[in-house]
Amino acid sequence: MAKEKRSYEEKTADPAAQEMLIRADELGIGTAFSRADDMVPCNIGGAGMCCKLCGMGPCRLTKDGQTGVCGATIDTIQARNLIRAIAAGSAAHSDHGRDMAFTLKAVANGETEGYVIRDVAKLRVVASKYDIPIEKRSPQEIANDLADLYLSQFGQQRGKIAPVIRAPKKRQQLWEEQNVIPRGIDREVVEALHRTHIGDDQDPVHILQHAIRTGLADGWGGSMIATDVADILFGTPAPLLGQANLGVLKDDMVNVVVHGHEPTLSEMIVAASQDPEIIAYAQSKGAKGVNLSGICCTANEILMRQGIPAAGNFLHQELSILTGAVEAMVVDVQCIMQALVDLASNFHTQIITTSPKVKLKGATHIEFDEHHALTIAKQILRTAIDNYPKRGAIHIPQITEELTPGFSHEYINYMLGGSYRASFRPLNDAIMSGRIRGVAAIVGCNNPRSKQDYLHTYVTQELLKQDVLIVETGCGAIAAAKLGLLLGEAGLDKVGAGLREVCETVGIPPVLHMGSCVDNTRILTVLTQMVEEGGLGDDIDKIPAVGLAPEWMSEKALAIATYCVASGAYVIFGGSSPVSGMPDRVEDSDIILRYISEGWEEIYGGKLEFIKDPDEMIRQTLAHIDKKRAALGLPEYDPGRFGRSGDNRMLEVEQLPLKARREALYGVAAD
Ligand code: SF4
Ligand code: SF4
């Protein structure tokens, strides 16, 4: 039986998206929103109570004490399902990291077209962490060695992957004791698949121990490599002005939307779009030029480095095509809906696949190769330009918001202490004094089963009122951007008084955009630096901080959650749990749900919980932050204690009659 249809306002909090959903209905075209309404999720599979790992099944365990044909119990089945999802997420992030390392190697050896090493300083810093010699060596020599080291992490068979040395010492020791330090990135993913084959590992706790190791191979391995190399090749992000939402599409230009994850191709498309020859070609077809925008994490990558606008997050991929104004959507890997090709056939839009790993039936494939990157980028743009004269009726919602993305941990370090005294001290001090109550990382996807952007932005706004500093990545960051929460002082009047003082003093927005999904590793780096700075405990699990993915949907999100838990963080997911079980109907079907909370917390100090109600998410976030503050012996959070300085005081002074105002400002009542 189909679910009841939701109204446009129930489907999305974004007015631009509502406008496009109305258009979709007028044109009789389905989207993920309508398909989610039509497709009721299977409650047995959704609760993790189904196994289809072999031909004796699928086995659905819906009665007390029931086992699969092989005798597998429900907790074993759930643990196996969960680790497989974590392995897939780790594989996706890490394979992205591998390709970045291959590109670095090729750039170092002069084999690419169009790439340079943009951030030599970061190259030297990263290489030094691994004792790669840097003095009297060219950037290419250093990059070649770093690329070799990073590439070796994937196929390494024994020992420890190199980037784990960047975690706090105490955390490394804990991982050592628990035997969860990844030996090689690929090895852990392969072993997760091996262990979950019929007739292998059937002790759920043992399976989930390896889930931790597989997650760590992502966070302190593949993803960290992806972030490092992207910064080295394309520049470490620093704040700049950007725009978000569908209004960034232009009615008089060739609109090319880049969607996916890897910055290698999109950076080259940015360069090609500014080439006079390409602009002239676009003009020859009647357009003013080429207008680039991004979707998903590709959007974040080129937004934070080049200021290229974001057309939207995950659920905007179909909506952007519905405008009728997109000449080409260029995709690489991850989060690309198969529905795009069919949807695009209603318009002139061409879907162009570019990765040797990802093809869509019916799409145009122009394979990317970093050795000829600029040539291929121009070929893609010419294909899009050739499509411009075929454009039919268009409807672009005139809705955009400005934002300031680009808060890498290097920039946060700099902004807190300047070039010569770069430091996290002011942030730690602000948390210790209670001006900032704690930190929340709000990250992750959109999910059409919940109201798009609502959970992200509601939780963000409520936590800001409670003096919680927010950092964001991925589609969550784009959700906040679309609501105008990522812009300088905008919305500071809705922020707790203590946090507001800090933001005004340092000159930062209260919500910091830290990048794409692989850039959640920047958050690990920030947390490690906070530990090393002192005053907030000797490990990440002591810091008053929480991670949230209110609208998660991808397996990558589960991998991120796992490495964050293993690093000591409390992670809250919205929506439904893939291991919820049905404890009211089937005995012991929530053992795994409880284990990844209580069991993991006992070992790692971090835990993963699934909470549907946003107010409960907020309550649990604040309770955890306050618990961590109390454990550190920090003063109890007092919302009325701060906020008597800075702009707040100036606003009060401005309200005074002239004489009193002068007295307040100058100490004398001048005539
Ligand atoms: S592995 Fe066991 S529980 Fe899973 S499908 Fe096969 S028989 Fe059923
Ligand atoms: S946040 Fe989720 S939906 Fe968005 S790009 Fe990342 S994995 Fe995909």
pLDDT at 49 over 90: yes
| Per-residue pLDDT band at 669 (split at 50, 70, 90) | low
CA-444 nearest atom, ligand 2: 1
**What's the CA gap between 194 and 421, in Å, rounded?**
49
Q: What is the mean pLDDT of residues 618-631?
A: 98
CB 290 within 8 A of CB 499: no
| Per-residue pLDDT band at 127 (split at 50, 70, 90) | very high
Q: What is the mean pLDDT of residues 291-315?
A: 95
Domains of the chain, each with CATH number or no CATH: 8-60 (no CATH), 74-234 (1.20.1270.30), 242-390 (3.40.50.2030), 404-574+611-632 (3.40.50.2030), 641-671 (no CATH)
Cα three-residue angle 629-615-471, rounded to 5 degrees: 55
pLDDT at 652 over 80: no
Q: What is the bridge-based pairing of β-strands 468-472 and 511-513?
A: parallel
What letter represents residue 577's amino acid? Answer: S
Q: What is the mean pLDDT of residues 197-205?
A: 97
| Tens digit of each residue's pLDDT (9 = 90 or more) over 321-330 | 999 999 999 9
- Quick check: helix, strand or coil at residue 365? strand
- What percent of the chain stands above pLDDT 90? 88
**What's the CA gap between 644 and 131, in Å, rounded?**
48
CB 334 within 8 A of CB 354: no
**Under 8 Å CB-to-CB from 600, ≥6 apart: which residues?**
208, 212, 565, 606, 607, 608
pLDDT at residue 505, rounded to an integer: 85
pLDDT at residue 648, rounded to an integer: 62
Instruction: Give the ligand whose atoms come closest to the C-alpha of residue 54.
Output: 1
For 328-351, the DSSP string reads EEEE-SSS--THHHHHHTTSSPEE
Residue with more model confidence, 664 or 409? 409
Cα of 217 to ligand 1 centre, how many Å? 28
Q: Which helix (H) or strand (E) holds 21?
A: helix 15-27
pLDDT at residue 644, rounded to an integer: 64
What letter represents residue 460's amino acid? Answer: T
pLDDT at residue 629, rounded to an integer: 98
What letter represents residue 332's amino acid? Answer: D
pLDDT at residue 121, rounded to an integer: 97
pLDDT at 421 over 80: no
Residues within 6 Å of ligand 2 by CB: 296-297, 313-314, 335, 444-445, 474-475, 517, 554, 556-557
Cα of 654 to ligand 1 centre, how many Å? 72
Partners of residue 257 on adjacent β-strands? 293, 329
pLDDT at 490 over 70: no
CA-77 nearest atom, ligand 1: 3
- What percent of the chain stands above pLDDT 70? 97
| Tens digit of each residue's pLDDT (9 = 90 or more) over 35-47 | 999 999 999 999 9
Instruction: Give the ligand whose atoms come closest to the C-alpha of residue 549.
Output: 2
| Per-residue pLDDT band at 428 (split at 50, 70, 90) | very high
pLDDT at 488 over 50: yes
**What's the CA gap between 346 and 354, in Å, rounded?**
22
pLDDT at 3 over 70: no
Q: What is the bridge-based pairing of β-strands 350-353 and 326-331?
A: parallel
**What's the CA gap between 441 and 443, in Å, rounded?**
6
Nearest CA to ligand 2 atom 8: 335
pLDDT at residue 647, rounded to an integer: 59
Mutation to probe ligand 1, out of 44, 51, 60 (largest number of atoms < 8 A from CB): 51
Mutation to probe ligand 2, out of 296, 449, 456 (largest number of atoms < 8 A from CB): 296
pLDDT at 230 over 50: yes
Identify the residue whose tokens are 């609502």.
454
**What's the CA gap between 56 and 53, in Å, rounded?**
9
pLDDT at residue 1, rounded to an integer: 47
Q: How many CB atoms lie within 10 A of CB 389?
A: 11
> What distance lies between CA 314 and its chain's CA centroid?
11
Q: Where are the beta strands (DSSP E) in 48-202?
A: 50-51, 59-60
Q: How many CB atoms lie within 10 A of CB 565?
A: 27
Residues within 6 Å of ligand 1 by CB: 51-54, 56-59, 68-70, 72, 77, 198
| Tens digit of each residue's pLDDT (9 = 90 or more) over 359-401 | 999 999 999 999 999 999 999 999 999 999 999 999 999 999 9
Q: What is the mean pLDDT of residues 532-549?
A: 97
- Quick check: helix, strand or coil at residue 255? strand
Mutation to probe ligand 2, out of 262, 297, 303 (largest number of atoms < 8 A from CB): 297
Cα of 445 to ligand 2 centre, how many Å? 4
**What's the CA gap between 610 and 533, in Å, rounded?**
32
Q: What is the mean pLDDT of residues 170-178?
A: 98
Determine what percent of the chain falls in helix, strand and coil, rounding each to the nearest 5: 50, 10, 40
How long, in residues, is the chain? 671
CB 497 within 8 A of CB 648: yes
**Under 8 Å CB-to-CB from 666, ≥6 apart: which residues?**
none
| Tens digit of each residue's pLDDT (9 = 90 or more) over 441-472 | 999 999 999 999 999 999 999 999 999 999 99
pLDDT at 128 over 50: yes
Q: Which helix (H) or strand (E) holds 455?
A: helix 454-465
